[in-house]
């Protein structure tokens, strides 16, 4: 496979327990991502939103650390989020489509339909108000 990544981005956090996501872009603005953690530790999560997939509604998670140097590829049709598990994190990602805020959607990180196993208690999670107001999986827009 060949992917033409058009944009490099990074996210920096200095607060353990910060959660970003679970985000995706819809339609022709969808993005594939290649992510890694260059400093610190994160739990990275991808949720399958492809209705035609045998894993629709399932998630996969992977621990990304500066020591294990793993990268995680998230194809188009998946929502993505990560949880900061160290005091400082630098998280980098390459995307194959430019970010479009009008196409961005979010799924609630604690939705019971997904049952994502976050390794810290809910009261310890720090997130934006936008992410707290995200839709449930059932309310989300899916891919074909």
In 3D space, the residue among 59, 36, 53, 56 whose CA is nearest the CA of residue 110 turns out to be 59
User: From the DSSP assignment, how many helices (H) and strands (E) are in the chain?
Assistant: 1, 9
79's tokens = 């929502």
Surface-to-core class of residue 17, CB atoms within 10 Å of its CB (0-12 exposed, 13-18 middle, 19+ buried): middle
2, 3, 10, 23: the catalytic one is: 23
Residue 10 falls in the annotated catalytic set: no
Residue 142 falls in the annotated catalytic set: no
Contacts of 27 (CB under 8 A, 6+ apart): 103
Task: State the residue for tokens 């045998």.
Answer: 54
59, 93, 99, 142: the catalytic one is: 93
CA distance 103 to 75: 16
The catalytic residues are 23, 93
């Amino acid at each position: 496979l060949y992917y033409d990544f058009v944009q490099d981005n990074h996210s920096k956090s200095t607060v353990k327990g910060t959660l970003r996501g679970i985000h995706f872009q819809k339609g022709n603005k969808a993005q594939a991502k290649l992510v890694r953690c260059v400093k610190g530790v994160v739990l990275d999560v991808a949720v399958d939103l492809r209705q035609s997939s045998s894993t629709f509604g399932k998630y996969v998670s992977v621990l990304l650390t500066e020591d294990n140097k793993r990268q995680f590829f998230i194809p188009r049709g998946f929502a993505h989020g990560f949880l900061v598990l160290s005091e400082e994190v630098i998280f980098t990602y390459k995307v194959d489509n430019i970010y479009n805020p009008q196409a961005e959607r979010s799924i609630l990180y604690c939705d019971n339909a997904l049952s994502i196993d976050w390794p810290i208690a809910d009261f310890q999670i720090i997130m934006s108000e936008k992410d707290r107001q995200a839709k449930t999986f059932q309310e989300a827009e899916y891919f074909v």
